[in-house]
Structure 1
Amino acid sequence: MRILHTEWSDGFGGQERRILAEMKGMRARGHDIWLATREGAQLRVAAETAGIPTLILPLRGAADLASAARLARELRRLRIDVVNTHSGVDSWVGGIAARWARSPVLLRTRHLNNPLRRGWTNFVHYLPDRIVACGEAVRARLVEECGFPAAQVVSIPTGIDFAGFRPARDRATVRAGLGFGEDDELLLMVGVLRGVKRHLLALDALQRLADARPRLQLILAGDGPMRDELGARADALGLSGRVHFLGHRDDVPDLLGAADALLLSSRSEGVPQAVTQALGLGLPVVATRVGGVPELIRDEDTGLLVPPEDAEAMAAALERVFADPDWARNLGERGRAHVHAHFSLDAMLDATERLCDDLLHHSARTAR
């Protein structure tokens, strides 16, 4: 198959990582892959580093018909079979371009668990042959709350290459490089520093544990628009020496291997890669019960779930993890077994191939 992905976002969080993993995985299976994105997108750099050809478009907004016309010409020139759009702006531009170019298959991958509203002003949602939800919770919301036809929405959870996702350095070396010893309790968060991730809530939970756990440190791997606000809030809570901003990191497996637990404090999620990755390495996880997180974490079995926006419950769950390392270790091991069985990269690629192949065959039959 000849597949082109579109992405408007300049960031590099879980959504962009899934796109990159899918592009690389499908290319390894013999498919031809392209990416259409903006010049400043971090995904563009990662794709080009991986040898995936990119098309640079302005993608100025949903009504950027010039970008749509240019993309449509490229789709015809490259004889693209499948167009897969991802964010809001590129789903408008890519969807219109795919229909102008008469590309056989148009997919829209929905990574977030926020609602999409169908209507004549949002006709873009009627364009895709299928909407790919990154988990059953996302699919259920689109169908039950947003009115999308059940047959139009399929769930393909984000898969992780567990064989390749391994720490390159040992725990002690990574900790020493960060300035910590084995006696320090390291709580890791991985993700873009933006409001929906609710890092401010995590700081409130940490402050509640400050006296009881004097060795507890919060490590934030990721960058984003809330960096300064989070730093100021940490200072105001008296946590400036216990909250550590690492910025964007390419050594996430090393950081997970060095941590004692992972925290997810989001108010909305699809199926978060950081949680899947952490569980895949056997790391205990405390996470909010939102979106597709319960697909990964069965409370008290493969991890701990807490209500969103509840710093007190979050602090209590974290205290349980750090107070009983043996129990937490067993929790992590059960999490590892669960995600290896159900959330692998091969499972995601298999489902994606089947979907595209079925739609292409249907398109070919319809065209006869």
Structure 2
Amino acid sequence: MWSVYMSGRAATQYQVVFVTGAGYLSHWCGVSESLYQIVKHMAEPLLVVTSGPNGLTQRLAEQELPVAVLPFPVTLFRGLRSRSLKDKARFLYLYFRYSSQLLRLLVRHRARVVYASDGVSMVLASLAAKLSGAKLVLGIRGEPGTGLHWSLALRLSDRVVVLSRELRRKVLATSPPRFYNSLLSKVVVIYNGVDIESVAMRSQGSDSIRTALGLNQGDILVLYIGAFCPHKAQLEFIKQVLPCFYEYWQSEHRVHFAFVGSAKSDLDKQYEAMCKRATLDLPYKERVHFVGFQQNVWPWYAAADIIVLGSRSEGMPRCVIEAMASGKPVVSYAVSSVKELLQDTGAGIVLPQGDATGMADAVARLSRDEDLRAAMGERGLAFARTNLDIRSIAKSYEKLFAELM
């Protein structure tokens, strides 16, 4: 069954219901932050439905925003690929039980639009939404998926929300040919958002960070922000990029690298340990810092001079839009959306995936050129104020939902 947390008096109607929480939301991450900011800044309250207690559920409950928990172990989707009839039967039983509970919730609150944050959530929500008469919106917050459940999600959706023009092109390019024409009008672009107004207030304390890391006046701080996991590729950055930086480390400029983030799963904790061990063989290893997860990351952006991103894949990297909102230049590999954010705006430097030498050279170039860092930071901040403010993003979602009602 579900439990619902309300702000003040319980509402009887939520015209919009968010269904989310599949898999990656088991801990707080960039996706969690993005969804939380959207929900927080909507003019009218909406109900969020998660598949289990997680970071997003907890944050919404703490803020007394409406949230419901409908348990569904998303790992059961593996049963669809299993040859075992028992696994398939168990999946179908739990799926129909989940759908009946969600249907009662949608009918009870007279929902007219259901937004699913990913393909798995879309499959979970589709039956109940269709039976209730609600419109379906699929959110694609990363690289487009493949397989039966993605094709089904695209076909069932009334709208598809992607985070950038590049992701829109990818969705259209990878969609089944028979869906292409219908998707042209379905797929809309709405960026991730940042609470621009709160950045300055939440950025206090940057001087103490630089002091704690042992930086002197004129030293350069480079941040790599993200949870430790293979697709974030911190290990490749340490092994491939930092050795290329050796000659510059010997120059008159002192450059420090700080990794902000921590591992969540046991497997990722092993990966984090490998990253730390890899720095032991580096010259100037005392200038490489692992500072763990930071609840308030804004002082770290304020303390930094350059932000780097070496991920293998992303949707719209939250660290990039947060860096832009902080007025900091970014050096990144060409993962999804960064050309649109950085190269097209002049807010950073984008390199081919895996170009370690190019990454090191770009960081060195920015480290030497204070004026270039400032110019890129100003262009990024101007773009963020115009295009990434969470209040404007929330209004875009409100307009989309209103069109479907």
Name the TM-score, length of structure 1 as normaliser: 0.89
Kindly provide the CA deviation profile for residues 203-252 of structure 1, in whole angstroms up to 9, marking residues without a partner as x: 12122213422532221222222322322333354575333222221221
Distance across 2 between alignment mates of 1:281 and 1:250: 17
Among residues 192, 200, 207, which one is paired with 1:172 in the alignment?
207
Q: Higher mean Cα deviation, 207-216 or 273-282? A: 207-216
Paired residues of 1:296 and 1:339 also in contact (CA < 8 A): no
1:50 aligns with 2:63: yes
The 1:145–1:39 alpha-carbon spacing in structure 2 relative to 1, beyond 3 Å, is closer
Paired residues of 2:151 and 2:175 also in contact (CA < 8 A): no
Paired residues of 1:269 and 1:293 also in contact (CA < 8 A): no
Q: What is aligned with 2:167?
A: 138
Displacement, 1:51? Answer: 1.4
SS in 1 for 2:208: helix
Distance across 2 between alignment mates of 1:275 and 1:184: 22
Q: What is aligned with 1:338?
A: 383
Paired residues of 1:135 and 1:271 also in contact (CA < 8 A): yes
Q: What is aligned with 2:152?
A: 123
Paired residues of 2:50 and 2:57 also in contact (CA < 8 A): yes
Q: What is aligned with 2:304?
A: 259
Paired residues of 2:126 and 2:136 also in contact (CA < 8 A): yes
Q: What is aligned with 2:6?
A: none
Displacement, 1:155? Answer: 0.7
Q: What is aligned with 2:88?
A: none
1:21 aligns with 2:37: yes
1:292 aligns with 2:301: no
Paired residues of 2:114 and 2:135 also in contact (CA < 8 A): yes
Paired residues of 1:289 and 1:305 also in contact (CA < 8 A): yes
Structure 1 unaligned segments of length 5 or more: list them.
Answer: 361-368
Among residues 208, 219, 223, which one is paired with 1:188 in the alignment?
223
Paired residues of 2:232 and 2:313 also in contact (CA < 8 A): yes
1:159 aligns with 2:193: yes
Among residues 309, 326, 330, which one is paired with 2:354 in the alignment?
309
SS in 2 for 1:32: coil
1:272 aligns with 2:317: yes
1:200 aligns with 2:235: yes
Kindly provide the CA deviation profile for residues 179-219 of structure 1, in whole angstroms up to 9, marking residues without a partner as x: 54434421112222222222223212122213422532221
Distance across 2 between alignment mates of 1:348 and 1:237: 43
Displacement, 1:323? Answer: 1.3
Q: What is aligned with 1:364?
A: none
Q: Report 1:352-367 matches (<5 A).
A: 352-360=397-405
Kindly provide the CA deviation profile for residues 144-184 of structure 1, in whole angstroms up to 9, marking residues without a partner as x: 23245211211111121211122442431232344544344
Q: Higher mean Cα deviation, 289-298 or 335-344? A: 335-344
Among residues 344, 350, 361, which one is paired with 2:395 in the alignment?
350
Displacement, 1:22? Answer: 0.4
Paired residues of 2:345 and 2:380 also in contact (CA < 8 A): no
Over the matched positions of the two proteins, sequence identity in percent amounts to: 25
The two structures, once aligned, show a CA RMSD in angstroms of: 2.2
Q: Report 1:106-121 matches (<5 A).
A: 106-113=136-143, 115-117=144-146, 119=148
Kindly provide the CA deviation profile for residues 109-163 of structure 1, in whole angstroms up to 9, marking residues without a partner as x: 11102x3336588423322211100111111100123245211211111121211
1:97 aligns with 2:132: no
1:165 aligned partner, one-letter code:
V
Distance across 2 between alignment mates of 1:207 and 1:159: 35
Question: Any runs of at least 4 consecutive aligned residues in structure 1 with deviations exceeding 6 A, and if so which?
Answer: none
Aligned length: 355
2:227 aligned partner, one-letter code:
V
Displacement, 1:42? Answer: 1.0
1:222 aligns with 2:222: no
Distance across 1 between alignment mates of 2:224 and 2:162: 24
Distance across 2 between alignment mates of 1:256 and 1:123: 40
Displacement, 1:271? Answer: 2.0
The 1:281–1:168 alpha-carbon spacing in structure 2 relative to 1, beyond 3 Å, is closer
Displacement, 1:345? Answer: 1.4
Paired residues of 1:231 and 1:240 also in contact (CA < 8 A): no
Kindly provide the CA deviation profile for residues 295-339 of structure 1, in whole angstroms up to 9, marking residues without a partner as x: 111269221111111111100110101011222112211221122
Distance across 1 between alignment mates of 2:114 and 2:282: 48
Paired residues of 1:110 and 1:132 also in contact (CA < 8 A): yes
Kindly provide the CA deviation profile for residues 264-320 of structure 1, in whole angstroms up to 9, marking residues without a partner as x: 112222222211111122111111122111111126922111111111110011010
Paired residues of 1:10 and 1:38 also in contact (CA < 8 A): no
The 1:51–1:120 alpha-carbon spacing in structure 2 relative to 1, beyond 3 Å, is closer
Distance across 1 between alignment mates of 2:190 and 2:344: 22
Paired residues of 2:329 and 2:376 also in contact (CA < 8 A): yes
SS in 2 for 1:266: coil
Kindly provide the CA deviation profile for residues 26-49 of structure 1, in whole angstroms up to 9, marking residues without a partner as x: 1xx1x1222222444111111112
Distance across 2 between alignment mates of 1:237 and 1:70: 55
Paired residues of 2:51 and 2:73 also in contact (CA < 8 A): no
The 1:52–1:321 alpha-carbon spacing in structure 2 relative to 1, beyond 3 Å, is same
